[in-house]
């Protein structure tokens, strides 16, 4: 077998077929928007992503798949202007509300999907283009080409390492198979075949998280289990109770065995 014969885009597409979560629709992301925002705003993930990004104050940035503004909002405090694009109106609504609350007025939101004609939507090339945890596309090569074409200075994307935020122990506890699909290594190799030599850094998140009570800890896991049934609910409770410890200040800590790791892949134009 020769390395050159491997088609990473096709292998990525094949790998996604057996995935536990197929590409969610706009309506699914709309429904998830409030809980996603609650979990991710002001997260350590965003702080660490921005630390790796090192943006220039003069830059204009395009954040594709921006969600509720996990990165667009803090980034807007650092750079000249941010265009935040996402196909979910509910995500963009939260982003706009939050921007108004904190008095940020240099973010333009655009409802757009990966497949849309970005030119028609007046999305111009930007100095910096980012796509954080949002490469949920049918054709990875087409998406990477688009990001590359829309950046004039730098592209920074993040992708799952292994199971990423999904905890294999939780899936085992509820008796569901976990098939996370292709991770970052496909993206890096595909970029290489596109003659883009990217740097890879990693973000590791804490395995221990603090909650006000058990119910909140249970709630924090539920997003991983779409349409949970009563039997699975018992498995979820067992999983939480095995990992929960009470802290002296009347809060609780939930510790997972496997770390959450994200790959941050970046290149200069
Ligand atoms: C996991 S969230 C990431 C949000 C944010 N970038 C972050 O890192 O917190 C993925 C986002 O991608 C958006 N998304 C998914 N598929 C999309 C598509 N085909 N076109 C545009 N946005 C999409 C979702 O609406 C969601 O806001």
Which CATH number belongs to the domain containing residue 65 in this structure? Answer: 3.40.50.150
Taking the C-alpha atoms of residue 157 and residue 180, their distance in angstroms, rounded to an integer, is 18
More confident residue, 35 or 131: 131
Does 221 fall in a domain?
no
**Does ligand 1 come within 6 angstroms of the Cβ of 49?**
no
Task: Return the structure tokens found at 8.
Answer: 């990473």
Q: How many whole angstroms separate alpha carbon 12 and alpha carbon 104?
A: 38
Q: Which pLDDT band, with edges at 50, 70 and 90, does 22 fall under?
A: low
Helix H or strand E segment including 178: none
Assigned token pair, 74: 């803090």
Residue span of the structural domain in which 136 resides: 3-165+179-206+261-268
Domain count, the chain: 1
The answer to the question of residue 243 being in a domain is no
Ligand 1 mean position, distance from CA 129 (Å): 14
How far is Cα 22 from Cα 19, in angstroms, rounded to an integer?
Answer: 6
Q: Is position 138 within any domain?
A: yes
CA of 190 relative to ligand 1 center, distance in Å: 21
Does 92 reside within a domain?
yes
CA-131 nearest atom, ligand 1: 6
Question: Cβ(91) to ligand 1 under 6 A?
Answer: yes
CB neighbourhood size of 239 (10 A):
21
Is position 107 within any domain? yes
pLDDT, averaged across the chain: 94
The pLDDT tens digits of the residues spanning 153-185 come to 999 999 999 999 999 999 999 999 998 889 999
Cα-to-centroid distance, 133 and ligand 1 (Å): 7
**What pLDDT does 23 receive?**
59
Confirm or reject: Cβ of 266 under 6 Å from ligand 1: no
Is residue 18 over pLDDT 90?
no
Domain for residue 219, yes or no? no
Ligand 1 pocket check for 69: Cβ under 6 Å: no
**Please, which pLDDT band fits residue 86 given cuts at 50, 70 and 90?**
very high
Q: Domain for residue 216, yes or no?
A: no
Residue 155: inside a domain, yes or no?
A: yes
Contact present, 216 and 260 (Cβ < 8 Å): no
Mutate to test the pocket of ligand 1, among 87, 89, 263 (most ligand atoms within 8 A of CB): 87
CA distance 8 to 141: 9
Residue 208, pLDDT above cutoff 70: yes
Query: pTM higher than 0.85 for the full model?
Result: yes
Q: Supply 202's token pair.
A: 């990693």
- Residue 163: its pLDDT value, please? 93
Share of the chain above pLDDT 90, in %: 79
pLDDT per position as a tens digit, 35-60: 889 888 778 999 999 999 989 999 99
Q: Which residue has the higher pLDDT, 178 or 145?
A: 145
C-alpha of residue 137 to centroid of ligand 1, in Å? 10
């Amino acid at each position: 077998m020769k390395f050159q014969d491997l088609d990473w885009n096709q292998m990525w597409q094949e790998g996604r077929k057996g995935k536990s979560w197929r590409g969610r629709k706009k309506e699914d992301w709309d429904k998830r928007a409030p809980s996603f925002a609650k979990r991710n705003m002001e997260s350590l993930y965003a702080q660490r992503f921005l630390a790796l990004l090192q943006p220039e104050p003069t830059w204009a940035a395009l954040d594709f798949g921006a969600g509720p503004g996990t990165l667009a909002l803090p980034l807007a405090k650092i750079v000249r202007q941010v265009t935040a694009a996402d196909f979910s109106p509910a995500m963009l609504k939260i982003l706009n509300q939050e921007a108004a609350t904190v008095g940020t007025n240099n973010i333009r939101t655009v409802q757009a999907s990966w497949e849309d004609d970005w030119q028609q939507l007046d999305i111009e090339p930007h100095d910096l283009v980012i796509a954080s945890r949002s490469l949920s596309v049918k054709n990875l090569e087409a998406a990477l080409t688009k990001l590359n074409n829309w950046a004039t200075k730098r592209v920074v994307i993040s992708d799952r390492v292994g199971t990423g935020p999904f905890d294999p122990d939780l899936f085992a506890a509820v008796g569901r198979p976990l098939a996370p699909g292709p991770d970052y290594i496909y993206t890096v190799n595909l970029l290489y075949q596109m003659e883009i030599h990217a740097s890879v850094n990693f973000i590791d998140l804490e395995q221990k998280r603090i909650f006000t009570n058990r119910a909140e800890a249970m709630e924090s896991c539920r997003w991983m289990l779409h349409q949970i049934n009563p039997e699975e609910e018992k498995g979820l409770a067992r999983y939480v109770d095995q990992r929960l410890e009470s802290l002296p200040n009347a809060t609780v800590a939930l510790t997972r065995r496997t770390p959450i790791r994200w790959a941050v892949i970046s290149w200069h134009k």
